[in-house]
Each structure stands twice: as structure tokens, then as C-alpha cells.
Amino acid sequence: MTMALEGIRVLDLARYAPGLYVSMYLADMGADVIRLEEAAVSGRRSGFTEEKVAYRDSSDVRAAAFNALERNKRRIAVNLKDEDGTAVFKKLAAQADVVLEGFRPGVTARLGIDYETCRALNPRIIYLSLTGYGQDGPYRLMAGHDVDYVAIGGALSLVGAKDGTPVIPGNLIADYAGGAQNAIIGVLTALVARQRTGRGQYVDVSMTDGVIGLMAQYTQEFFMTGKSPKPSATRYNGGTPYYNVYEAKDGRWLAVGAMEPWFFVNVCKLAGRPHLADRQFDQQRWPETEAALRQAFKTKTAQEWHDLMSQEDTCVVKIYTFDEVFADAQVRQRKMKLDLQHPQAGKVQQVGFPIKLSETPAAFRRFAGTKGQDTDAILGELGYDAAAIARMRKQGAVA
């Protein structure tokens, strides 16, 4: 089966989830992703890795079996502070199409593996830097994680209770949406451009920039009115009765997205409050309308409302827990859960492929390996013989 990115080689220097998600997507679509891991971790980061955080109680084999972020990749452990280790990277970069990294600005230059170095070796190289704040600006060297980027980007001011208490929305907005997905778009766009120009380029993706970019609909209103949107106060974050969450009889919650009048008419009718439909856009009566709907939704369980509302145009569903997500008929039909057989761990599951291509679909090809599992094989492809590999391993250049 031909795959969309077959023949594209990616060098993955990522250490955290956003970068690993980028290379997972590229690998799922057929790219040959070589994951360059640290040969040894020392100093304050010793004992701390993304895998240990995510799989505290799992053996390496079991962790690998469930680790979707590392699937479909080959893994080589290289010491980039060692001269021979850097030489390995450069040999790989000379043959690669894409390099992705997530270090703070300046780190790759100190290691001698930055874009300018790679471009001199390979003018067709596409070099992605995925960072919190980007390669320039006063915050460029500041440490951060998703919660910081959604704070600086303004999104955290939108998500929360009516009393203004912010609610952390997981690490989805900056890490994955604003960061990783924009990085994927940047890499794929650069690959398309290279077909015309014959040259690679540098792709600078800031997770904070990505958060701001995701809020285009909010920012256009802000620029027009000069008013900052508040939590639980806009059309899209719980500020209206027709786009909100409601508690059911059993303590479970419903999501109501009945923005269009014809949907809201059906909601009110099925909730036994048809007279509320005419008040949908009467802001003065919103507190009264919301209170009436809250009372109505307390009369049935969330599942009962889900079953009732889903039969008509209402935009009302139950808020699922993870076990309900992957038991749902729609999710199963869309194959968003992969049932796999691991040679050591047995039956395991991983998340499926969200983008369906009719001619060149994504595919599961291999489980995540353990650290440095493919070191010898990849070095052999680069022309290193067994003696050279043994020497480099003894001196700590590879592992």
C-alpha cells in the first residue's frame, strides 16, 4: 500500500509530547521517522522522561505497547554533546527531509546541529523548531508549559466559571492544537513549497502564537469592540442558555450547542419548556431562561436526555467519560480505537487516525520500541561497522 509520506525521512529530536505528536502524525502517514533520544540523561533531568511521567507503573515493554506517540518510529540513542554523536546526526541530516526539535532557542546552535548547519549539509532540509514562545521576542528563553502558553495567549481567560476562576483545559490547546498541529501544517506546507523551489526552509512555530491564532473569532470581535471576552460570558463559553452545560438528574452533565433557532426550538420542546424558545436572544431574560432549563434537565438522567435529544435536531449530547468515548458506536465506526496484538504485552489499544485519506491512508506499522532499540541498525545504514559501533557505545557517543 502506498502511503502519503512514503520516502520522506524525519529526524525527531523532540523530548516532550507536542513534538512527539508531530512525528507520530508524520510516521502514521508513512514517513520514516528516526527518533534521536539522549544516550544518557544527567543533571536535574536524570530520572525524568516523558515516558516515565506517562507510564509510571509500567514496564518498558508494556509502556511501548500502549505508547501511541512513539509508534511507527525507529529509535536511536545518541549523545549530541559527543563529537562522534554529532557526526552521526550530521550524516542522518544530510539524507533527511525534515528535522524537528523543541529545545529552547540557542541550544541547537551550541550543539552544532542547528538549521544553518543542516542547510549547509542539505539545502533541501526542512527544519522545524517547536517552542513555547518562538525564536525571537523578550520571552524566547523563558520556560513554560501548556498552562503558561494558554495564559499568555489569552485562552485561559476564556475558560472558567462565572466568578472568574480559571479552569485548566488539560494540555490540549497549546501543546497539541496551537503547537503540534500548526507544526504539522508548517512541515507539510514546506514540503509542498519545496516541490516548486527545490529548497527547504526553517519553520518557527510558537505554541503561544498558535493559541492566539486559534482564537481568530474572538480576536476579531475584540479588535472591533475593544472589549475583552470574559469566562462564561460569550456565545461560545457558556454565556448563553442555548450554548451551555447542564446537570442532569443523576449528576452527569449535558452539552447543549443549540445556537441556531430551529435547534433551540426542539430543545425547549423536548425539555417540556416550549415557551422558552422565543426568548433565545433576549439577553435580559437569559438568567431566567437558563434557570428554567436547569430545572428541566434535572428531571431525567443524562443518558435519558441523550437518547431523547439525539433523535431530533437539538445539538444536545451527554458529556462522555473516556470509557464511554471508546464504547460509542460512532467512535467505533470511525475506527478511533485501534485494537492491536503486541508480541509481549498481548492485546492493547491505541488511539486511531483522525484524518481519513481514501487513496493513501494512515496505517499502524510498528509498536514503539524501547530506548535505542534501532541504534545498531541505523548506524549500519550509515556505514558504521560493528567495531566502530562498539567503540562509540563504549565512549558513550551512542547507547
Residue numbers annotated as active site: 145, 175
Given CA atoms 97, 99, 100, 105 in this order, what sign does their dihedral have?
Answer: negative
Residue 25 grid cell: 502524525
CB 54 within 8 A of CB 68: no
Q: Which residues contact 268 (CB under 8 A, 6 or more apart)?
A: 274, 275, 276, 277, 293
The CA-CA-CA angle for residues 26, 58, 104, to 5°, reads 45
CB 254 within 8 A of CB 303: no
78-108 in b/e form (b: 16+ CB < 10 A) is bbbbbebbbbbbbbbbeebbbbbbbbbbeeb
- Dist. CA 177–CA 207, nearest whole Å: 9
Q: Which residues contact 383 (CB under 8 A, 6 or more apart)?
A: 91
- Dist. CA 167–CA 157, nearest whole Å: 9
Pairing of strands 126-131, 98-101: parallel
